[in-house]
Chain A
Amino acid sequence: MALLEVENLEVTFGLRQGAVKALRDVSFTVERGERVGIVGESGAGKSVAAFSILNLISRPGYISGGQIRFEGQDLSKLSSDAMREIRGNRIAMIFQDPMMTLNPVLTLGQQMVECLKAHRKISTQEARLIAVEKLRQVHIPSPEKRIDQYPHELSGGMRQRVIIAIALLLDPVLIIADEPTTALDVTIQAEIMELLLELCESNNVGLVLITHDLGVVSQVTQKAIVMYAGRVIEQGPTKEIINDAQHPYTQGLINALPQQTLPGQRLNQIPGSMPSLQNIPAGCAFNPRCEFVMDVCKQTLPGFTRSGGCQVACHMVREMKEKAAQEAS
């Protein structure tokens, strides 16, 4: 049994122009201790996917279909108390902006002790000891002193470390990190990513990493999920996707990186921009920007085709696979 199974998840936002589906038919699994990256550009629905796992979608959005099973339990059937228990204890979340999660008027220690005591029956002293230990785990120098500081006394990188320490406080089995390093500088980003990787490995914690940065995904995750306009268009082992992407959009994303062209030459750009969720084109959502577009792409939505270890939603890939299979037989 997988740790987290998301099946045909659909999220709808009831806007005044009518209902808009922000996620359609999203399915993926996370195994115990597995690191999964969800990649996409802004508007692809990657954050919505992360938030809906914890049922944190706020009005006017709601989960309109599909199932989310965590350790075999259907999360949509849980009471809000049971959900809160899972949120704190079993699944932790790391947000983009550390200041959003830290209360500026409480010291780190107060916040961490409060969190521990809310979920476990332990004394303040014990809780404090655990908190110091967690701060040490995320490599915060002299944690005994830092624990009595306020969030504003820490630098951005330190704050994000504290956030990770808080996420680890109750020994969760799954961490969902929504663009955890976007607000940070490259050198600090590298440190934080390495820390996350190290902690997940040593504690056998699953990680769902939401990011727009393919470089980060390639370094940290084992499995990658590429999203476009609310759908998963390709998923599979990260190595395969980075080295041999099948979907034209994934290829385009990788090829658009400056490192993929010789200095001074034009970059390989994808023309156009992502459609807004209100007017997604018929057929494959990527068809107006795709250089391999065929007639079928403008009419029917492509289903998933297996290609190596990956699943790709693309008509062209399917046809190529079919042709190859015919030739083989």
Chain B
Amino acid sequence: MNAQQPILQVRDLEKRFNISGDFLDQLKFQGGKIVRKQENVHAINGVSFDVMKGEALCVVGESGCGKSTVARTVMGLLKPSGGSIHYNGERIDQLSDRAVLPYRKKMQMIFQNPYASLNPRKTITQTLEEPVRFHNPGMSETEVKDKVKAVMFDVGIDPGWGVRYPHEFSGGQRQRISIARALTLDPEFVVADEPISALDVSIQAQVLNLMMKAQEEHNLTYLFITHDLSVVEHFGTRVAVMYLGTLCELAPTKTLFATPRHPYTQALLSAIPRLQDHRPNHIKLQGEVPTPVNLPSGCVFHGRCPHANDRCRQEVPKLVPQSDGSQVACHGVEEGRL
């Protein structure tokens, strides 16, 4: 298998959420006239990236940067407002519910909140068996049961738990059940949306290990969404840093942590609370994250960037490949100022 083959290609992805309500709410009285006004949240603005076969691409960013929206749009839970998504060369973002079914088997998702992602009224066995039956109508009852049992063993849960309901389990155990549910269909591509951020430290390690084991055994490709950079350093093959719906930097993990290029990435890295240093010595950003309703002109980061100049305020920077294999969207880096 060629390691450099992209399994997922996202091009100029855009997603806007209309927040102006229904028709009557949109009517505003302005300057003596009634006008119709629509407001949008620009959650993703032209994001492009590839996910290579067998890698774990981590998307990091702070809350509201659109990383979860990317995950949900890739999985087809949201319809993109613009751009395209290709899976193994086939465009998947405009398929009908029926046509998308074969991709549902190959692409699976693990959710953030283990307390909400399992149906509280279904036993574990019901939750795990339903997708197997649904996607493999030809399978006999024993085959379904065997498959589910095998997956449960795989993620380290006793098949005897199957008769219980989700509320009888701890957060870590539930997250394993969620992983088991994703694995029952033998997917090749898994989107994990903050799978460990709701868990305790000692449990986080268990779940991360399990995900790495699954990656090796089932040859999985991950799109891993997280806000926790220390996890990324450990888990990711490459890292994409997002800010306000745009990609600032996309680089191999080692390169990114050794030489972060984008000013925002630098600030983000310096803010990780590390064990050994005794004084926080982070890069302070001025101001606050602007609202995604009225996007700033030019580079979305210019209002907080210590190196911003007039060009940054007017012109939107593009992702430019660098000599070390990373891609950075920053005028300063492009001009060699930084």
Contacts and interface: CB of A to CB of B under 8 A. Distances in A.
A75 interface: no
A187 B243 CA distance: 13
B107 to A, nearest CB: 24
Q: Which one of A190, A194, A212, A266 has the greatest number of beta carbons of chain B within 10 Å? A: A190
A256 B273 contact: no
A187 B230 contact: no
Contact of A258 (B173, B206, B234, B288): B234
Given A219-B280, A258-B234, A267-B208, A186 B227 contact: yes
Interface size bracket, B side: 35 or more
Given A185-B62, A218-B278, A259 B230 contact: yes
A263 B273 contact: no
Interface in A284-328: none
B233 A273 contact: no
Contact of A256 (B62, B202, B279): B202
B275 interface: yes
A123 B200 CA distance: 48
A239 to B, nearest CB: 7
A106 interface: no
A213 to B, nearest CB: 6
Contacts, number: 121
A185 B63 contact: yes
A273 B273 contact: no
A3 interface: no
A219 B273 contact: yes
Given A218-B276, A263-B233, A187 B282 contact: yes
Interface string A261-276: 1011011111101100
Contacts of B240: none
A264 B213 CA distance: 11
A80 interface: no
A257 interface: yes
Contacts of B205: 256, 258, 267-270
A219 B202 contact: no
Contacts of A188: 62
Interface in B73-111: none
Contacts of A158: 288
B118 interface: no
A199 interface: no
A242 B209 contact: no
B212 to A, nearest CB: 6
Contacts of B277: 218-219
A215 B275 contact: yes
Contacts of A266: 209, 212-213
Given A187-B268, A259-B230, A259-B233, A254 B63 contact: no
Nearest to A243: B276
B337 interface: no
Nearest to B229: A186
Given A269-B206, A273-B172, A258 B227 contact: no
A273 B199 CA distance: 11
Given A259-B275, A267-B208, A269-B206, A190 B280 contact: yes
Interface string B261-298: 00000011011111111111010110011000000000
A193 interface: yes
Contact of B271 (A41, A187, A256): A187
Contacts of B326: none
A42 interface: yes
A191 interface: yes
A258 B208 contact: yes
Interface in B41-56: none
Given A193-B280, A259-B233, A267-B209, A186 B271 contact: yes
Contacts of A58: none
B273 A190 contact: yes
Contacts of B288: 155, 157-158
Contact of A41 (B173, B202, B235, B268): B202
A158 B287 CA distance: 10
A278 B285 CA distance: 46
Contacts of A256: 201-202, 204-205
B254 interface: yes
B214 interface: no
B320 to A, nearest CB: 24
A189 interface: yes
Interface of A: 41-42, 155, 157-158, 185-191, 193-194, 197, 212-216, 218-220, 239, 242-243, 252-254, 256-259, 261, 263-264, 266-271, 273-274
| Pairs A-B, 10 closest by C-beta atoms | A215-B273, A258-B234, A41-B200, A185-B62, A256-B205, A190-B271, A267-B205, A269-B205, A270-B202, A186-B271
Given A213-B273, A215-B274, 14 more contacts: A155-B288, A185-B62, A186-B272, A190-B270, A215-B273, A242-B276, A256-B202, A258-B230, A258-B235, A263-B233, A263-B253, A266-B209, A269-B206, A273-B172
Interface of B: 62-63, 170, 172-173, 200-206, 208-209, 212-213, 227-231, 233-235, 253-254, 267-268, 270-280, 282, 284-285, 288-289
13 contacts: A187-B268, A190-B273, A190-B282, A197-B280, A215-B272, A215-B273, A218-B273, A256-B202, A259-B274, A259-B275, A263-B233, A266-B209, A267-B208
